[in-house]
Chains A and B, each alone.
Chain A
Amino acid sequence: DDKLLTEPLSHPDFFSVKELFTLKDLFDARVHLGHKKGCRHRFMEPYIFGCRLDQDIIDLDQTMQHLQLALNFTAHVAYRGGIILFVSRKRQFCHLVESTARACGEYAHTRYWQGGLLTNAHIQFGPGVRLPDLLVFLSTLNNVFEPHVAIRDAAKMNIPTVGVVDTNCNPCLITYPIPGNDDSPAAVELYCKLFRMTIIRAKDKRRQSEAVEELQ
């Protein structure tokens, strides 16, 4: 059992996450497109490649690195049987995100976030609830263009977060930010596909390793 948990940690890319996407895929899915210069957040300036006709362009090289780290982390969490919660407050992608979560066997929350969900969980759900081990944000802002409450709550409850940050978002409290577009349907579909594939891959690998262990 110990070997099962420690073996993946010795490799830098145990789940070969790098193969899942290329720079061209990201470009075709319009991940590099940001918002206008006026909407730019100060802390996103390191991730921005440049500005063309007032529209910010995100640096895809940095996005590649961040995406690889984030997917690797998600895969490790899924391998260890952690609970992953997909959060997004974009109404257009609500159905897509929920279907992705269902397909992976994980959980989703794309609706109105009630105040004490994470911080007051034992009273809202009952004693003995298990909180999510990872929060994945497909969009860090809520419907009024303010940072989603879940980022702050997860930081309070020591839950790591992975989030797609656009040029108008605050990447501060997110453990694994992924600078990229969160408004185009193509980009969000790409992210959903990538997360789904990593989680399924990680779970399959876990089942294989357990089967191999049982045989020995």
Chain B
Amino acid sequence: AVGRVLRLCRRWGEGPRAQTLRLICATTAVQKKNVGASGPEKYTEAFIKKQIEEFNLGKRHLANMMGEDPETFTQEDIDRAIAYLFPSGLFDKQARPMMKHPTEVFPEQRKIQWGEDGRPFHFLFYTGKQSYYSLMHETYEKFLNVQKHQDQLIAQDLPLQKEKRNLAGSRWLTKIELEEMLLEKLSDDDYSRFVQLLQKLVALPCADIEENYIQKFSREVPVQLQKVVIEPLQYDEQGVPFSTGEGKRKTARATAVVYDNGTGKITVNGTDVLHYFPVVQDREQLLFPFQFLGRIGKHDMVCTVSGGGRSAQAGAIRLASAKALRSFVTEKEVEFMRQAGLLTVDPRVKERKKPGQEGPRRKFTWKKR
């Protein structure tokens, strides 16, 4: 197809224009490399062993060169030594010189899967996806096992165990994690079939027998709220309880210290709030957390803020004070604050200008002629 296009280009016109036409007409199908057809060289066991020996020898030489002890030369030391001896300004980290253990360099799946006489090692080799299908085979075997056990219990008239397995705190492996485990590419269909089989297995009443096997494929899901740790109240010299919080908005960064038993006085960067924020809108922003909790006249606040503009600094101090107030307040009220959006960092920042446009979104004036 590309040849035909090239011939067409030549027919259109000789000269420098034909060159550019040829480049544009080349199809992406030709440029895309057929990884399967290029036939990656398969690595034998002996080859990998030799590479490991050479790597260890090289590691010792490197350690001697750097004047360090060869026995305690770790991978990080190797990386540092290589970066020192062969400095490279290349942008792509993968393109810089590196010295890694052969098992990381030569991927597992490229190893030759058959012996000297040509007979493959794995009994499902000819399917193409040997690890995935052997996993399905094993899981189905466990399934049959559990069914057989169930039948035995029924034959002996014993009750079947029906403890509900807690599925709320666990999840199955993701497709990427499964691919890493099997060292093989999976399709979405394959993955969903495997998950369905696991769910069928877990749904059986006597599935506790194969608990060990099922554990390999499930992961804990940490409950969201447990992660956030609310700091306890601190007490200063006079015995007044206080708490600190940090907040940010656009480029402004603020820290706030909220004291209890106060009169509602707010100090920003050493100056009073009325002098620092002349606009009412900014002072409303500062007061919002206290107003929400109904504690307007009860707390004093001392804050420091830098960066950003007027509105950004106000938003930063608001977030900082809300975070500080968490220590004074019950867990339910913390949840109310979170739902009101007082504890969320505002992710909006200035969008960058793009080339070919006047601003982030504004295009240049379109002129008809």
Residues of A within 8 A of B (CB): 81, 83, 85, 95, 98, 101-102, 105-109, 111, 114, 117, 122-130, 132
A126-B112, A130-B114 given as contacts; is B126 within 8 A of A85 (CB)?
Answer: yes
* A130, B119: Cα distance in complex, Å: 7
* A126, B37: Cα distance in complex, Å: 9
Chain A residue numbers with a CB within 8 Å of B36 are 123-124
Chain A residue numbers with a CB within 8 Å of B119 are 81, 83, 130
16 pairs, CB–CB < 8 Å, chain A vs chain B: A81-B119, A83-B119, A98-B124, A102-B123, A107-B126, A109-B124, A111-B127, A122-B39, A123-B37, A126-B40, A126-B42, A126-B112, A127-B42, A128-B42, A129-B114, A129-B118
B290 within 8 A of A: no
Rounded to whole Å, the gap between the CB of B351 and the closest CB of chain A is 47
Residues of B within 8 A of A (CB): 36-37, 39-40, 42, 112-114, 117-120, 123-129, 133, 137, 140-141, 144
Q: A107-B120, A109-B124, A126-B112 are known; give 7 further A-B pairs, CB within 8 A.
A: A95-B140, A98-B124, A107-B125, A107-B126, A111-B129, A125-B125, A130-B119
Let me know if B126 and A95 touch, CB within 8 A.
no
Rounded to whole Å, the gap between the CB of B171 and the closest CB of chain A is 27
* A213, B236: Cα distance in complex, Å: 95
Q: SS class of chain B's interface: helix, strand, loop or mixed?
A: loop
* A126, B141: Cα distance in complex, Å: 31
Chain B residue numbers with a CB within 8 Å of A129 are 114, 118
Rounded to whole Å, the gap between the CB of A126 and the closest CB of chain B is 5
Chain B residue numbers with a CB within 8 Å of A109 are 124, 126-127
* A148, B156: Cα distance in complex, Å: 44
Chain B residue numbers with a CB within 8 Å of A125 are 113, 125, 128
Let me know if B133 and A95 touch, CB within 8 A.
no
Rounded to whole Å, the gap between the CB of A160 and the closest CB of chain B is 16
Which of B118, B126, B141 has most chain A Cβ within 10 Å?
A: B126
A107-B120, A126-B40 given as contacts; is B128 within 8 A of A132 (CB)?
Answer: no
Partner of A106, one of B114, B123, B141: B123
Rounded to whole Å, the gap between the CB of B221 and the closest CB of chain A is 32
Chain A residue numbers with a CB within 8 Å of B118 are 83, 128-130
Chain A residue numbers with a CB within 8 Å of B125 are 107, 125
Chain B residue numbers with a CB within 8 Å of A127 are 39, 42
Rounded to whole Å, the gap between the CB of B312 and the closest CB of chain A is 58
* A132, B40: Cα distance in complex, Å: 22
Chain A residue numbers with a CB within 8 Å of B129 are 111
Rounded to whole Å, the gap between the CB of A17 and the closest CB of chain B is 24
* A18, B17: Cα distance in complex, Å: 80
Partner of A124, one of B40, B120, B123, B128: B128
Let me know if B124 and A81 touch, CB within 8 A.
no
* A98, B140: Cα distance in complex, Å: 11
Chain B residue numbers with a CB within 8 Å of A81 are 117, 119
* A82, B123: Cα distance in complex, Å: 14
Let me know if B128 and A101 touch, CB within 8 A.
no
In the A-B complex, the 7 residue pairs with the closest CB atoms: A130-B118, A102-B123, A126-B42, A109-B126, A109-B127, A111-B127, A107-B123
Let me know if A126 and B144 touch, CB within 8 A.
no
* A83, B115: Cα distance in complex, Å: 13
Rounded to whole Å, the gap between the CB of B134 and the closest CB of chain A is 9
Rounded to whole Å, the gap between the CB of A143 and the closest CB of chain B is 15
Rounded to whole Å, the gap between the CB of B133 and the closest CB of chain A is 6
Let me know if A98 and B117 touch, CB within 8 A.
no
Rounded to whole Å, the gap between the CB of B13 and the closest CB of chain A is 41
Rounded to whole Å, the gap between the CB of A120 and the closest CB of chain B is 9
Rounded to whole Å, the gap between the CB of A107 and the closest CB of chain B is 5
Let me know if A117 and B126 touch, CB within 8 A.
yes
Identify the closest chain B residue to A121 (Cβ).
B126
Let me know if B39 and A126 touch, CB within 8 A.
yes
Chain A residue numbers with a CB within 8 Å of B144 are 95
Which of A105, A126, A128 has most chain B Cβ within 10 Å?
A: A126
Let me know if B123 and A114 touch, CB within 8 A.
no
Rounded to whole Å, the gap between the CB of A85 and the closest CB of chain B is 6
Chain B residue numbers with a CB within 8 Å of A126 are 39-40, 42, 112
Identify the closest chain B residue to A129 (Cβ).
B114
* A105, B137: Cα distance in complex, Å: 16
* A213, B106: Cα distance in complex, Å: 42
* A129, B125: Cα distance in complex, Å: 11
Rounded to whole Å, the gap between the CB of A47 and the closest CB of chain B is 29
Let me know if A101 and B123 touch, CB within 8 A.
yes
Chain A residue numbers with a CB within 8 Å of B127 are 109, 111
